[in-house]
Amino acid sequence: MNEESNLPNYLFAIGLIRSSLFGLSAFVPSEDDHDLHDMATITYTLLTVLWMLGITFFAQLSYEKATKYRRRIAQSFVFAFIPLGHYLIQHRLYQVPGAYSKYALFEWLMVVLDIAFDAVSIFEFQGLEIQTFGPKSSSTPSKAHIDV
C-alpha cells in the first residue's frame, strides 16, 4: 500500500460510524423504536466486521501475539452470527419462548468480542512512553512521565 492510499481514512470513518451506531442501538431499546434499533444494530455489526478485517490487515505483523488474538476474536465474532440469526428467526417467525433472551445473549457476546478485539491493542502499546512537560519557570520544571 502506498502513502497516497485512502484506505486508512475509510477505516477511520468506519470506526467512527460503527461506534455511533452502537451508541444508538444501546440507547434506543427495541421497545421504544424497533426499526431504528434493528437498523442501527445490523449496520453496527456489519461495519464491525469491516473494522476487524481492516485493523487486522493494517496491524504490524511484528506484533504476532496481537495479530493472533485479533484473528481468533474476529473469527468468533463472525461465527456468532450463526446462533444470533437462528434465535432471531426463532423469535420473529416462530415466536419460540426464550428465543429472544438467547438472541440477546449472543448480541451482547458480540459486543464483548468487539471490546476484546480493541483491547488487544495493549500488546502493541507495550514499551510506549509518553512524556509531558509543563511550562518553563524559574523554579524546577514540572515533568510527568508515564510508562505503559
In the prediction, which pLDDT does 23 show? 94
Q: Among the listed ranges 23-32, 55-64, 73-82, 122-131, which one has the minimum average pLDDT value?
A: 55-64
**Using CA atoms, how far apart are residues 125 and 69, in angstroms rounded to an integer?**
15
Residues forming beta bridges with residue 132, ordered by sequence position: 144
> How many CA atoms are closer than 13 Å to the CA of 112, on its beta-carbon side?
8
Mean pLDDT, the chain, integer:
90
CA distance 35 to 70: 31
What pLDDT, on a 0 to 100 scale, did the predictor assign at position 30?
Answer: 84
Residue 128, classed as helix, strand or coil, is coil
143 DSSP β-pair partners: 133
For range 40-66, the mean pLDDT: 90
User: Is 70 exceeded by the pLDDT of residue 147?
Assistant: no
Which candidate, 47, 110, 51, places its Cα nearest to that of 77? Answer: 110
Predicted pLDDT at 60: 73
Most confident range, picked from 2-6, 53-57, 109-113: 109-113
**Residue (of 110, 97, 91, 95) closest to 42 by Cα position:** 110
What is the distance between the alpha carbons of residues 79 and 17, in angstroms, rounded to a whole number? 23
Tell me the C-alpha distance between 39 and 50, whole Å.
Answer: 17
Minimum mean pLDDT among 37-41, 64-68, 140-144: which range?
140-144
Task: Give residue limits of the domains in the chain.
Answer: 7-126
pTM given for the model = 0.82
* Size of the chain, expressed as the number of residues it contains: 148
